Structure 1
Amino acid sequence: MRSDIVSTDEQLNEKSPKIVILSNIDVSNFNQISETQTKTTTKKKRTKCKFCQTDVTNFERHLERNHDDTKEVQDMMSFPKSHPERKKF
């Protein structure tokens, strides 16, 4: 055994610094901490607009704001939001 390492049952000498080896440590908390730090973020799926070829995250809102003058978009907007014809677009 090295002279600078002391196990927990031995007495520590206060004059010289020594390394203490701890045994029987509960490591379950360490695993939980590392798991929470390794979460990854996911990117939202983007849809390509067929009018302006831009990648858009909220396609319906993009059409309302940028292409409301187009005949196809106006026809789509005439349906209620939950209507299947509106979702086909």
Structure 2
Amino acid sequence: MTLSGRLRWPGFYDAAIALLVGFLAHGVWLGCVLFSLQQGVPAGIVALVASLFYLGPPVTMIMAWVAFGDRLQSTDVIGLIIVAAGVIVVQRQ
């Protein structure tokens, strides 16, 4: 946001970087999941591996806390616990 309080549209470079990151973050791992299924990997194993991708944001949050001293709010910790519990449930089944 600008100082006037209005949203500023990203320039071409910023939009291109956002599209590239979005493609890499979602397109590549989803492509790998679909490729694995096509190659005959059982869906249960693919689900176990894919569930680990949900740990990315919480791990990044912890790394920012350790490396840069970012403050963690109670909602951050609750979200971290919920995500970790969800991944644990999926991994145990």
Establish whether TM, by shorter chain, passes 0.5.
no
Coarse TM-score class (shorter-chain normalised): under 0.3
TM-score by length of structure 2 reads: 0.25
Which one has a larger percent helix, Structure 1 or Structure 2?
2
TM-score by length of structure 1 reads: 0.25
Greater Rg over alpha carbons, structure = 1
Higher relative contact order (CA 8 A, sep 6+): 2
Which one has a larger percent strand, Structure 1 or Structure 2?
1
